[in-house]
Structure 1
Amino acid sequence: MWFSKIINITLYLFGALAVLMGGVLIWAYQYRDEAFQYILKQANDNINGQLTAGDFGFTPFANGIGVSFSLFDVHLQDTAYARHRTELLSLRQLTVQIDAKSLFKKEFQVKSVRLKEGKIAVFVDKDGYTNLSIFQAQDTLPGKRKKRDPAALNKLLGNLKNVNLTNVGFTLENSRKNQRIALKAEDLTNDIYLRDTLWEMELKGRVFFDGLAFNKKRGAFLHHKPAELDMNMTFSAQTSFLRVFPSKVKVYEDTFELKGSFDLAPKGHARLEIRTDTIHAARALTIIPKRLADTISRFRILPVVTATVRMDVPLFQQTEPTVLIDFQTQAFNYESPIGPLLNVMARGHFTNQANPALPAGNPNSRLLAEHVKGAFYGTVPLNTFFTVTNFDDPFLSMEGNFKADLPKLNTLFDENHFALNAGKATVSYCYTGRMNPIFNEKTNGLNGKLDGHAKLENAAFSYIPQKMNFNRLYSSIRFNEKTVDVSYLHFNHRRNKIRISGKVTGLLPYAFNSSEKVDAYIAVYTPDLGLDWIREYHKPYSLKNDKFFTKLIAKIASQLELKAVLMATKVHYRKFEAANVKGRVYFSEKTVKCENVRMQAFGGNFLVTGGIEHFDQPMHRLYAKGKVDHADVQKVFYAFENFGQTTISDRNLSGEISTDFSYSSQLTSAFKFVPTSMKGRLAFVLTNGELNHFEPIKRIQRIFFRRRDFDNVRFENIKNQFVLQGEELNMEQMKVASSVLTFFVGGTYSFRDKTDLLVQVPLSNLKRDVNDTVTHTLDGNNLVIRALDENGEMKLKYQLDWRKKMRRGHRSDSVLFNR
């Protein structure tokens, strides 16, 4: 029994529910057209335009107790639509859920709204007219009789809880302010709660941004970018003010935290703060306007950054939004004009309104990197800060420094060329000028002003190809965009203590891959300059790797022309020694030359101009011309190692010589003379000369004048001119008045096997007394002696029938003298 009662009660309940639902459906269908017309009437009574729909449908008990009405083919037009032909609203479907309780009271209280597949288009024309005038108060429009009923509107929307947009596009086109905002709500839901006059909203879903162009000439933010929104907001209809509480916007894989406000008054602004923890700059550039992105891209600095962006956007004015950015980068690599910077980290700020008195924009933009650190080539620590202004034509102001322990830099050099052994290097600099580009290839110079200082402390390095070691190197160097001023550069090379000062031009452009000439003008002082190391010079060999600094140094050296004023208390090379040396010296990769070098040498004064060239070839060339005053002839022969011959040496000569000379010769790679290449001319005066222990002269004694001392022959003043050609020294006939006899000599003296000298001795010498002062000539009878080199041995040939031989041999002798 009880079971059947339960069944009956249940059936009664279902029956009652069915009757209720049926009643509701009957009621809904009964009032279907009335509801449709009521909705359109309520909407049209509160707008300055017309809302139309092609069809109407409803669903009872949708989402609980209530009814959902759907309008199909919905169009909303303002009163000026016939003129501008732009619908404010065009939807395939607009669904409105009505509270069920209000239906029984014949009232409409909207609980939710769904817009599906369509578009919303807002515009402002050049005259300032906007189709949003459809929502303006009726009594503010002339000729309008409609009166808005705020109470009715509040009754209609006061319980609105949810708005959903599916594939609904939105555009705002402000021709007057040259602005355009376009997006598409793919699936966007806004949960709403009305608290007094304040709407609280939670907006979530997917949106595709076509672009946010607050000034179309400057480009658009979020151009063709999909996004996901999770936003919390409030909106006051009375003040037209939208506040955004901390929310999240995801663009691709990057999530941004967003907060701020939108003042929708006629002169309102959007003020936003956007924060991201880790976004790659390359992706961030795709979010901002292309023109600004292209400008930033030119800097080629695109790290991962943590950034906070603050924007002040005039919504209805034709002015640039104000942008402020605080950023901190993660470590990144940057290819600078002078080489790679690795593991760079930077902290800084950006604003596009550096001067508050001027409008925002590229010309008024400023990027301040207050702390940048990294490693030049991954090795040299760098610290710098810089400011970039005027992003239309970026202007850079930068200060920084490099500091390094030199041995840590060996990885930057070819180990076959350089070895940095000790010391510290510091370089500080300041640059102001154009940033893009910094270097002007047409002028081979910087597009700005540079000032800097470089310092070396107790440095030591080796130049391996020439086995040269330098130590105790200290320097203080100032540089600008044109010159390098060497205040001092002190170093030791072997026993040489070198002190240098001067300036260099054309050097800095090599950091930017220049290949122009480098000129150096310096002063060099040393108390004791030894040049024996020159003999160890080796021909440079090709680089075996591509180390940057080795290539850079080699490139500079190949174009370097060094002009120096040399001052040395002493100079020595092999047997050559000089004092108080002063003159000009020129160096290049292929040449060393001196000009008007004065010194005290050989017991007299020495002036010389000359040099060695063709260092890059197997055979070098030595050339010189100069003047010697009152020098010790023995010391001259000793210093020049008897000029490469052994017949007459410094052990045979003494006296004082003054001479003008010119000389040239090839040198081997070991800096040895090549006798066959020698050329020269020597005009000399020998005073108080002596010829001692000279074997060719002593042979004459064995035949003639045996009682005279030919072992030590003293001369009166001798004056003559010699011409050197290869290994032959041609001399004009000259008179030699000595302590043992007077003779005339001329012809060719050879350093090898071609000596052919003609010696004429006046016979008056046969009766000469030691104290005889008679001047002898060739007018009388003479003894003719011919000195010939035969098979490496000097042979003397003489003739007894002097007059006959003299007449017959006169012409041949003349030829001999003029060789």
Structure 2
Amino acid sequence: MDIKRVVKKIIFYLVLTVVVVVTASILATYLYKDRLIDHFIREANKSLNTPVHVDKISVSSLKNFPFISLTFDGVYIEESFDKSSAPLLEAEKIDFTFNPIAVFRKNYTVEKVFIKKGFFHLKMDKNGNINYDIFKQPDTTSSTQTVKVDLSKIVLEETTFKYQNWLRNVDLDFTTPSLTAKLNAVGSVYDILAEGEVAVNHVSVNNTIWAENKQTYVEADLKYNDELKDLFIRPSVITINESDFAVEGTYQFLEKQLISLNVDGKDTDIQTLLSILPHSMVKDFDKYQSKGDVYFSMVLDGEIGEKTSPKMTINFGLNDSELYHPDTRVKITHALLRGTFIAADLNNINNSVLDLKDINGIVEDHNFKANLYLKNFETPYVKGNFEGKLDLESVFKFYKSESVEAGSGQLDAHLNFEGQVKDLKKKASSGRFKTTGDINLNRLSLKLAHYPLKLDNVSGNLLFNNNDLALSDVSGKLGNSDFLLNGFFKNIIAYLLFENEPVGIESDLRSKFIDLDELLAANPGEESDSKYKFTISPKLVLKFDCDVDQLKFRRFAPKNIKGDLIVRNKIAQSNRIRFNAMGGSITLDGKVDASYDKLLRVNTSFALDNIDVDSIFYVFENFNQDFLQDKHLKGKIKADVQASMTFSDNLHLYPGSLVSNISTTIIGGQLNNFEPMQRLSKYLDEDKLDHLVFSELRNDIHIENKKIYLPQMEVSTNVTDIKISGIHTFDQNIDYRVIAPLRSKKKIDKDEAFGAIEEDNSGRTMLYLKIIGNTSDYLVLYDKESVKKKIVSDIKKEARELKDAFKNKGKEETPEIELEEDDYFDWGDD
């Protein structure tokens, strides 16, 4: 056989075939162009009951050679209702291809469809009407040749599918960059094979968004019976992040909407599963990754109706897997989990069940195991347990908490809990929530993100008893302050779980040192010049039995502090607090009422015993004046003080609110280099008034209306005997009266002093003087006979009246907080 002749024949026939096909295609295009367009449109109008708008129609034999292409540019198909809204289908271009040989035979079977930049908008309104009911019922009696649908290829490019079901509050949005499908129709039965990329923009159900912005690859095998309204999903695969999900099931909607769907994850991982869930649920975990066997399966089965919805069951878990965050070296190894989520009614997903069993793992060589059962997310019933040892540094490296910057130390926990969470909100039912177990703390430290002080070196035992927590030898430091607690935290679980829940604390507090400056500064005020902000939580009920070795507050540094502190309804009260300070001892009763807006009302009474006078002035920063300072004073003071005053929440005193009675005795007192006394030497016979020593001084002082009332008192000193009385205002205006013996008249002008000299009952000559002005600019003048007696009596009378008024006021406005056993933790049943 001549090979060359054979090759030539083959080439000839191939060329001939091509020529025939090309010729047939060209001829069919030109000969049947108008017939093809007319026939296609006519048959389409017979099948569709909604208008189709096309900007341009063209026929080409070269565009999809060797097939004839019927091209629609600017396609707009109206929906079956509400024609004025968005179209059912809008596309930049749709190509239909036909076999040219078949066209010669008047067989207008569509072989392939190409859709470019299409937008399908399917929807169901609130009345259940659909916008995609666009096909007419076929006329079985007609013998007219129709367009047959036997599509070997459907290509979608840059096409979006959007489905909105306003009746069920469902919104689906998909885009495919490139997807190829095959459609075969026999009567009303359609077989569809599809494969390609699909971008899931979002899946929204009841305003909850799932699988947002996910890139997937789909291999779908579908069978749809339009007469029975039945969609059968044959085994298909959806690939997400290299994880395959096998999908199979049915969807029927002839008379009722019935769905039965199975999804089974293969070779998946935790990151893929989390990416499908709503971001709001998993935002704290969406960066975590896994290695090992992670499984997932879902079954959706039931009726989708106005009052019914399908049941969803999800099974998931880990088998000897590894969980880790890509930014940290800490891992959970040998992780095990068996999980089930059951939603019996998707219309009410809150009434679902989450069951996590056999939770096991190892974190940094520490084992833990747990179980958790949760029913009804709206009013939860929970049951669970936890057992294991955790290293906090590893935990917070594995889980990045926004509220905790760092942690260290270990805790060993053994916990069991069960009950309705809502029962924790009421005292009458809180006992129904059962919590047992204990936590051992070992050198635990925490640095919070929004609190400047570090909780450090905490050790001790926490014992749970239902809703309460017992503290046994819990010690540690908060900033510079140390503590040792033994007592109870009542309602602690509700306080941790819910906002605005109360907590009751009954405990013994033992401390070597408390830095009150630092603790108050940890809650700074809103004003830029404020160092402190003092508040009392309305939900705090507290009873402390305090034993503190030393405390620091500004210049105040008491020691050996012992007593009770009770807090309730934003009121703090102490009874018989005793401490040593300023060279002596102090016994204090008092109440701080923080229930007013940005105000603190203080009522107190205290007794000073053997306190250094100069220390008082030093500690209280000379009471913000420089007239009489600690450097001028010496001696020991005993005093009984009653006072009421009002502060801002930044601990700024409102001076006009201060009212006080002070009964005082000063022993072994000294007044040194006090300028007003030195000026008196001009009028008196004495030259040593810069150093006065007196054995004992008694007086009752009253403070009110920004004035210090000093009734007349006699000061017997090493130099002379002087009687002093007067008024000193808070803005440093002074009006003092001084009566002193005059042994010689050489230093005075007799005419000028006339009326200011008088003999007393013992026959001594007494000189009456007054010191008036303000502390920076004052005068020493003669006090004339015509005014001296009236002024002295007026001062005594006014001071006595104010003192009596204060005593009555104090009895009415300072009731004690009375707390009986258990009663002070009655937080109500609201």
TM-score by length of 1: 0.48
Q: Rg: which structure is higher?
A: 1
TM-score by length of 2: 0.48
